[in-house]
Structure 1
Amino acid sequence: MEQAPLDPERQLPPAPLEPLGRSDAGLEATGGEEAEGSRDAGSGVDTMTENNFWLKKIEISVSEAEKRTGRNAMNMQETYTAYLVETRSVEHADGQSVLTDSLWRRYSEFELLRNYLLVYYPHIVVPPLPEKRAEFVWHKLSADNMDPDFVERRRIGLENFLLRIASHPILCRDKIFYLFLTQAILTEILWSSQIGPTEFYYSADSRLKALNATFRVKNPDKRFTELKHYSDELQSVISHLLRVRARVADRLYGVYKVHGNYGRVFSEWSAIEKEMGDGLQSAGHHMDVYASSIDDILEDEEHYADQLKEYLFYAEALRAVCRKHELMQYDLEMAAQDLASKKQQCEELATGTVRTFSLKGMTTKLFGQEAPEQREARIKVLEEQINEGEQQLKSKNLEGREFVKNAWADIERFKEQKNRDLKEALISYAVMQISMCKKGIQVWTNAKECFSKM
């Protein structure tokens, strides 16, 4: 698949954006001048237009999830979850944020947006979507995609997906992204007219071509080969880390719930003791509090696990960039090989050289030498094809160099983002574990004091 040219109509005017690392952050875009936009003065609500959308400070959020029932393409009833996407302007006279756009989106529409970005920006590490079904769960978590806790985590993940796009210096200016945030009727009108369904079929077919190119590229770029190995290793390491974390969560949950048994024993014991009753009752209370705290602890851990899962899925986004480069390199090598073959044919016709073990040699032996006029006509056709091939090869070389330049710049941006986010997540996780251990020490210290007073 050739790299799709960037359509100027799909790009909004550039606006510097502040990077967003967390799903609870707001998106802010600033511009040097105030854009002209329609405003409803009577209602006091801003109507954001394409021209002034990114020149204002705005905030994007997925604020609510709602379970709905409808009919699918097969006219069969289905249950799905819809998410409320809100866009607010925070540049208002009184400093308060004002709701400008609000619409409901299904998960499949988020998938459609990401597929579009993959097609039109193959050199960019496109942010991943949160998991559609729960993975790496421990036994107390439900794997049902309609579970309220899972839906809430996915809501946060979808919000983070939009904020990742909005904080990207190129993706944030895309017209389709703007329409995704502001136009309610999307699937029937927007995607059929603006994107074109054939692009996605072509993209899906390119996966087969990419598999073929992987094994047939003769001179792969060492940097992209190393990047592909790195993405595989990143996915493997994070997968193992998430599996270990799930096993530890199971074990930790059991340890905490054992303290609930201690609390029940101490409480029942206090009922039959006169002198030690108060101390045993207090100790049992501390054990019960400690046992019940594990639910909040593991809920906080899921937040950090979701941050790791995001970069687990980023590994596939890195491989998508590598596959695109392999396809371009494969097309370049095939074009060079075809050009060399045509030049050899032209040279053989010009010099009259005939290779014995070739199709030309066999036809010459069977039918004799061709007429000079035929040979001149074939040479002329080959020369035209050679000129076209040279232009095509030059174009592919330029396209390849531009792709490598843009892709590597975005990969460096991704690495900085990854190092920053994972460092912050792991430090926060360590701080949470330290706090959890301190609470455990405090509980047993309090229990010890209760026993000492008996």
Structure 2
Amino acid sequence: MVEKGTALLRKLEINVAEAEKRTGKNTVNMQETYTVYLIEIRPAETVPEGGTPAAPDTLWRRYSEFELLRTYLLVTYPYVIVPPLPEKRAEFVWHKLSADNLDPDFVERRRVGLENFLLRVASHPVLSNDKIFFLFLTEVSNRTHIYTYADSRLKSLSAMFRVKNPDKRFTALKHYSDELNTVISQLLRVRARVADRLYGVYKVHGNYGRVFSEWSAIEKEMGDGLQSAGHHMDTYAASIDDILEEEEHYADELKEYLFYTDAVRSVCRKHELIQYELEMAAQDLAHKKQQKEELATGTVRIFSLKGMTSKLFGQESQEQRESRLATLEQSIREGEETVKEKNAECQEFVRTAWEDIERFKEQKDKDLREALIGYAIMQISMCKKVWISMGCFSFCPQFWYSSTNSCPDDFLDVTQILTGNILQTF
């Protein structure tokens, strides 16, 4: 799903080859079990015929180091929708799948997700050129000190700002992100519930398989057919584990964009912060200009402590007034420069952020379309296998279609319509 559109991916092949469980001591000197992931990079030049590819450069990274890298990217590139990491603990899973973050199946899925994260960053036109990202791929030593300054800046982004004149484009983007989050969350919940029910249906057929096998022992004329039916029932029941594991792959692709919605909202919050700083600078400048006007004319428009003091103790001398005017004029010039800089910063942020937002939307449409079409094709293929495996019941009218080794046309039409409806949701 990641295209080699940047110079970095054209030069390097990046893989997270394997995961390994380790035991060590944490920061409070307590023993813990954790997982590390092996990153492999090698030159992407074509290997000559008969030659051998160069050995990859390798290093091990923990999940927490990936988190530090993403935190650094979030702070350094506030206008970029930074790709999300795979989930730290399993969510939206059917109940037969383990939610343990050390479970081998979950670790394998997270390994794939971490590789996809690196490829997403490496394919981004801005993030791929970052030196720290390159060091993350090549530098063996742990360089966590590079990211320490990020925490304080991220904390400021978590605060709520009351912007007087919010940008309608970013307000709409926030609603878009919330709606996308809601739709994908509902789809994942429904998928988990359906997977639970499907698992139960398939496993019930395992009981049918035993019944048919025992039945075949006491039937003379139908014995072979019943035994064959029992065998097909057992095969049908056993297939559900592989089916749901394959479904989990498509669920992970949806989860990636569920987590992407947080990255989109993060860009909106950063724009609100810049907009808030611009409004505060403009408000401070307006207040200083009002003070200058009042000082120059000798009139006070609003109640103030200084105005009350001047009435009680007399007016300022001419020298004091001129000194204050000079100070205010200097402060106003500085304030005008600050407003100009903040305005330019805001405009530049909007320009660069909107470029990345448009790139993200195009990528999202392409990836989700491919994922949902792949999921629909997998479901059609699964149903075809079911019809074929149930061919032994051709003596029953309800299984007549199985003898053709294909699904009814009506079923295919309904599946295509359903797929189209899901795609329109996004």
Q: Is the 8 A contact 1:101 1:181 kept in 2?
A: no
Q: Shift in Å at residue 435 of structure 1?
A: 1.1
Equivalent position SS for 1:129: coil
Provide the residue aligned with 1:217 in structure 2. 163
Q: Is the 8 A contact 2:9 2:123 kept in 1?
A: no
Worse overlay, 273-282 or 334-343 = 273-282
Provide the residue aligned with 1:86 in structure 2. 40
Provide the residue aligned with 2:16 in structure 1. 62
Equivalent position SS for 2:42: strand
CA distance in structure 1 between the partners assigned to 2:185 and 2:359 by the alignment: 23
Matches within 5 A, 1:41-440: 54=8, 57-91=11-45, 93-94=47-48, 96-186=52-142, 190-192=143-145, 194-195=146-147, 197-208=148-159, 211=160, 213=161, 216-355=162-301, 357-440=303-386
Q: Is the 8 A contact 1:286 1:447 kept in 2?
A: no
Q: Shift in Å at residue 367 of structure 1?
A: 1.8
Q: Is the 8 A contact 2:215 2:226 kept in 1?
A: yes
Q: Is the 8 A contact 1:283 1:446 kept in 2?
A: yes
Q: Shift in Å at residue 273 of structure 1?
A: 2.2
Provide the residue aligned with 1:36 in structure 2. none
Q: Is the 8 A contact 1:282 1:447 kept in 2?
A: no
Query: Match of 2:63, as an amino acid?
Result: Y
Query: Match of 1:64, as an amino acid?
Result: E
Q: Shift in Å at residue 55 of structure 1?
A: 8.5
CA distance in structure 2 between the partners assigned to 1:97 and 1:324 by the alignment: 44
Query: Match of 2:155, as an amino acid?
Result: A
Q: Shift in Å at residue 368 of structure 1?
A: 1.4
CA distance in structure 1 between the partners assigned to 2:185 and 2:35 by the alignment: 27
CA distance in structure 2 between the partners assigned to 1:356 and 1:328 by the alignment: 30
Distance 1:383 1:169, change over 3 A: same
**Any unmatched runs of 5+ in structure 1?**
1-20, 31-53
Equivalent position SS for 1:99: coil
CA distance in structure 1 between the partners assigned to 2:391 and 2:154 by the alignment: 62
Equivalent position SS for 2:34: strand
CA distance in structure 2 between the partners assigned to 1:28 and 1:424 by the alignment: 19
Q: Shift in Å at residue 200 of structure 1?
A: 2.1
CA distance in structure 1 between the partners assigned to 2:371 and 2:335 by the alignment: 52
Query: Match of 2:85, as an amino acid?
Result: L
Q: Shift in Å at residue 56 of structure 1?
A: 5.6
Equivalent position SS for 1:400: helix
Provide the residue aligned with 1:45 in structure 2. none
Compute the RMSD of aligned alpha carbons.
1.8
Query: Match of 1:316, as an amino acid?
Result: D
Q: Shift in Å at residue 59 of structure 1?
A: 0.9
Query: Match of 1:201, as an amino acid?
Result: S
Q: Shift in Å at residue 92 of structure 1?
A: 5.2
Q: Is the 8 A contact 1:28 1:59 kept in 2?
A: no
Q: Is the 8 A contact 2:213 2:230 kept in 1?
A: yes
Query: Match of 1:185, as an amino acid?
Result: S
Q: Shift in Å at residue 167 of structure 1?
A: 0.5
Distance 1:78 1:356, change over 3 A: closer
Query: Match of 2:22, as an amino acid?
Result: R
Q: Shift in Å at residue 199 of structure 1?
A: 3.2
- TM-score (norm: length of structure 2): 0.89
Seq. identity, %: 70
CA distance in structure 2 between the partners assigned to 1:356 and 1:257 by the alignment: 79
**Any unmatched runs of 5+ in structure 2?**
401-426
Equivalent position SS for 2:60: strand
Equivalent position SS for 2:394: helix
Which ranges of 4 or more aligned residues in structure 1 deviate by more than 6 Å? none
Q: Shift in Å at residue 28 of structure 1?
A: 7.5
Matched residues, number: 396
CA distance in structure 2 between the partners assigned to 1:65 and 1:55 by the alignment: 23
Q: Shift in Å at residue 94 of structure 1?
A: 2.3
Distance 1:100 1:279, change over 3 A: closer
Q: Is the 8 A contact 2:47 2:53 kept in 1?
A: no
Provide the residue aligned with 2:411 in structure 1. none
Q: Is the 8 A contact 2:285 2:335 kept in 1?
A: yes
CA distance in structure 2 between the partners assigned to 1:55 and 1:254 by the alignment: 44
Q: Shift in Å at residue 335 of structure 1?
A: 0.3
Q: Shift in Å at residue 423 of structure 1?
A: 0.2
Equivalent position SS for 1:123: coil
- TM-score (norm: length of structure 1): 0.84
Distance 1:28 1:351, change over 3 A: closer
Q: Shift in Å at residue 306 of structure 1?
A: 0.2
Q: Shift in Å at residue 29 of structure 1?
A: 5.5
| 1:333-369 Cα shifts (integer Å, max 9, x gaps) | 0000000000010111111112462222211122211
Equivalent position SS for 1:98: coil
CA distance in structure 1 between the partners assigned to 2:5 and 2:395 by the alignment: 53
CA distance in structure 2 between the partners assigned to 1:289 and 1:322 by the alignment: 51
The structure with the greater share of residues assigned to helix is 2
Distance 1:333 1:29, change over 3 A: closer
Q: Shift in Å at residue 125 of structure 1?
A: 0.3
| 1:353-399 Cα shifts (integer Å, max 9, x gaps) | 12462222211122211111111111111100000000010011111
CA distance in structure 2 between the partners assigned to 1:99 and 1:356 by the alignment: 76
Q: Shift in Å at residue 139 of structure 1?
A: 1.0
